[in-house]
Structure 1
Amino acid sequence: MPKIVAIVSQKGGSGKTTLALHLATCAAYAKQDTCVIDTDPQATAAAWGDWRGDFLPAVVTSPPARLARTIENAGKQGIGLVVIDTPPHAEAAMREAIKVADLVLIPTRPRAFDLHALEGIADLVNFTGTPAHVVLNGVPANATRMVEDAKAAAKELGLETCPVTFGDRADFHRSSARGEVASEIDDNGKAAGEVKAMWKWVKKALA
């Protein structure tokens, strides 16, 4: 069976799809056979895959009810890493993804309303016992106090915070609209560096 990373958030605009696609592409560049499973009816990740064409990683769609079967099929095809992109406001889809995951990543912007949305997910991951980490995303420059407050808010809910954060980077926005990732726009840019650091951390967390 492949290793499975589930990207979940109850809030739209948290950066789930960006995180899923960048993480999976970084893994693919590292010669890891990887696919993204898009369980969101809006199919944003799948659209990105269409724009991207034949370049890796593969992106497939799956309704939550068929998630386990889709992962099984990916494993039969030699896929070693599956990244699941889930829809917002869909507890059943999140529950299915969390249930099968080896690691759950919960992207959130470090603002009060966004952090409040972590409560429901905290209950789900604490119930399943799946290792889970909040990923602070869209972090403004020099926002040290904001980051510390966000980490404290997550800790109160029993959630760990990933040591790697994503800044509010233009390369993330520009690349997604073109079926690319940040490193393909500027491999030496800050966005690309954050993704490489995230993949390094995830690889270690899955070991």
Structure 2
Amino acid sequence: MPTVAIVSQKGGSGKTTLAIHLATAGAYAGKKTVVVDTDPQATAAAWADWRGDFLPEVVTSPPARLAKTVEKLAKKGADLIVIDTPPHADASAREAIKAADLVIVPTRPRAFDLHALEATAEMLNYVGKEGHVLMNGVPARATKMIEDANARVVELGLKVCPVSFGERAAFHHASGDGEVATEIDPESKAALEVQELWKWTAKQTGIKGGKGGGKKKA
């Protein structure tokens, strides 16, 4: 039962958007996927309320109970657990990293955001886990910016996720409606990026089958 932690010490990096899109892709791929929301603001849980009865399931958990929560979900047959963490919260990030088989670190490719990666890199090194940095909110035609950002990621001893997310309005519009980008427009660039992330995550964690696409029923 793979567990993916979405971790970043920087606010506004897109952790919750990433978590709900990845988990929903897993649900469309036929996997029993659960988002564990450890953020006191419970943004992922609010999204689930707006979404209604559609998958994936979202549960909340304080950091001190995270290991037990993951254990219980595994016993209930979860195929994939995605942990959403708050910014500026070492305890939550540390517990999520400990529980994870794969750690994804979203960041925007800008100086302040890249600087914030240092704290996450130190935490990963302390726990003894690898982190894969996903560039999020990437502007169009920002090749040089991405090259420089990737170089900084490598300098910090982190890995570069081969998938990146562009600055897509579809991500924001979908989340506010309790949906994901794939459900609004399955052929959009945002939807295709999510599908690529699902395929990469499945390969990294050994999950078999399913494309992670689909459109929510009315």
Unmatched segments (≥5 aa) in structure 2:
207-218
TM alignment of 1:25-104, pairs within 5 A:
25-104=24-103
Within 5 Å, which residues of 2 pair with 1:49-198?
49-198=48-197
- Sequence identity (%): 67
Contact 1:39 1:84 (8 Å CA) reproduced: yes
Q: Compute the TM-score of the two structures, normalised by the length of structure 2.
A: 0.93
Distance in 2 between residues matched to 1:3 and 1:24, nearest whole Å: 12
Alpha carbons 2:35, 2:82 under 8 Å: kept: yes
1:94 & 1:129 partners in 2: Cα distance?
Answer: 13
After the TM superposition, list the runs of 4 or more consecutive aligned residues in structure 1 that deviate by more than 6 angstroms. Answer: none
Give the secondary structure class of the aligned counterpart of 1:5: strand
Whether the 8 Å contact between 2:94 and 2:127 is mirrored in structure 1 is no
Q: Are residue 17 (structure 1) and residue 7 (structure 2) matched?
A: no
* 1:186 alignment partner AA: D
Q: Quote how far apart the aligned CAs of 1:126 are.
A: 1.7
Instruction: Find the aligned partners of 1:202 and 1:160 in 2 and give their Cα distance.
Output: 14
SS in 1 for 2:11: coil
Distance 1:105 1:182 in 2: 20
> For the residues of structure 2 that align with 1:83 and 1:130, how far apart are their CA atoms?
16
In 2, the alpha carbon distance for the partners of 1:64 and 1:11 equals 18
Q: Which runs of 5+ in 1 are unaligned?
A: none
* 1:117 partner SS: helix
SS in 2 for 1:82: strand
How many residues in Structure 1 have an aligned counterpart in Structure 2?
206
Kindly indicate whether the alpha-carbon contact (under 8 Å) linking 1:6 and 1:104 is maintained by their aligned counterparts in 2.
Answer: yes
* Secondary structure in structure 1 of the residue aligned to 2:141: coil
Whole-Å separation in 1 of the counterparts to 2:158 and 2:70: 26
CA distance in 1, matches of 2:192, 2:45: 25
